[in-house]
Chains A and B, each alone.
Chain A
Amino acid sequence: MAIAALAGFVGALTGLGGGIIITPALTLLFGVDIRYAIGATLVGVIATSSGAAAAYVREGYTNIRIGLFLEIATTLGAIEGAILATAVPTSALAVIFGTVLLYSAWQTARPGPVSAAAAAPDPLAARLRMNSTYPTPEGPRAYQVQGVGYGFGLMAGAGAISGLLGIGSGAFKVLAMDRAMKLPFKVSTTTSNFMIGVTAAASAGVYLNRGYIDPGLAMPVMLGVLAGSSLGARLLAAARTKVLRALFGLVLVFIAIQMIYSGLKGAL
């Protein structure tokens, strides 16, 4: 339960969702079967997302239009992934996933392109009324959305990974919005958090119907994650983006090593 609380805390702060920490913890530390772990984690992921998003939405960081539009891609991807989960060897997947995560960590660690704001906005974003503002200490600041199609494609992949491994795959959602669509980092993390719950609910439906969600295991995970995530959400408004990025990168590296190691060992 303490691990679940910690996972929820980090998850909310970074927009990751915390699932990628819970699954390895349950399987590696407690020897829980991966299928139970995935089921419980999905529940925890929904809890983190909803618990934190409630706070963000009211503060005005989340872009609901972008979130909803991209959710078409993530939910379809999630269901696809959840159905594929039994067919694909998870050990091979863990290694690929870990490698991709290492790459993402390296990407996140690099300073963001300064020219981001000057680049041409996507006309599709204007037609879909995605451009919005976000609160700063100096008042609301406007931002323009780019690469809508590219982001949509990345989201389908993020959804598939989410369904396959039972995680929120917030890392990919944040990357898609931060890098491809050039959203402000806090808008990316909070909108990702908003989307994670919906994506996880889509795959959780498949997992529930397959009997992968056990009440005895899901209960402590859900309650622990909720406690941690509400604390994390409270801290976000005060946190600095630079610190967030560093934390985010560290979490990615940690998970990546974990994934590759257990994949090679055949533990996943």
Chain B
Amino acid sequence: MSRDGGARRWTDERIEKLVGNLLRAGVLISAAVVLVSGICYLWHAGTGAAEYHFFHGEPSPLNSVSGILASLRTLDCRASIQFGILLLMATPVARVAAAALGFYLQGDRTYVVVSLAVLAILALSLSGYWVR
């Protein structure tokens, strides 16, 4: 009986609302971080045109999750833009996590497994597992 009660309290509609709000918050926060650090970056870099015609790869600290978090301590504007981008990349992940939680509260085991599978794939991708 408690399962039915749970299902009624956690309707699809309510899960969708939760997910929607989460997305909006994530996007707004990451946009704010990127905007502020972007202004900071342009301030320091000046108007000198950036060199993007040839690929030379990001300096290694800025191409892994742990590296970005570590360079954040140096108050580098490029690092904090990258952190904002990381926050943005985290919103779809958080979205899937929220859906997993919602389906768990609904007692919908099939979709808990589905959400967790997607979550695992995303986590492996972000950790660089597939690259190394």
Contacts and interface: CB of A to CB of B under 8 A. Distances in A.
Interface of A: 30-33, 35-36, 43, 46-47, 49-51, 53-55, 57-58, 60, 62, 64-65, 68-69, 71-72, 75-76, 79, 82-83, 128-129, 132, 197-198, 200-206, 208-220, 222-223, 226
Interface residues of B, number: 63
5 contacts: A31-B52, A79-B124, A82-B130, A210-B131, A215-B78
A180 B43 CA distance: 51
A206 B125 CA distance: 6
A222 B31 contact: yes
B4 interface: no
Most buried by B among A32, A62, A79, A212: A79
A147 B57 CA distance: 42
B73 to A, nearest CB: 16
Task: Provide the main secondary structure of the chain B interface.
Answer: helix
Contact of A223 (B13, B38, B54, B124): B38
A31 B54 CA distance: 9
A169 B23 CA distance: 21
B60 interface: yes
B38 A219 contact: yes
B121 A50 contact: no
Contacts of A128: 110
B23 A33 contact: no
Most buried by B among A128, A213, A216: A216
B58 A76 contact: no
B115 to A, nearest CB: 6
B82 A213 contact: yes
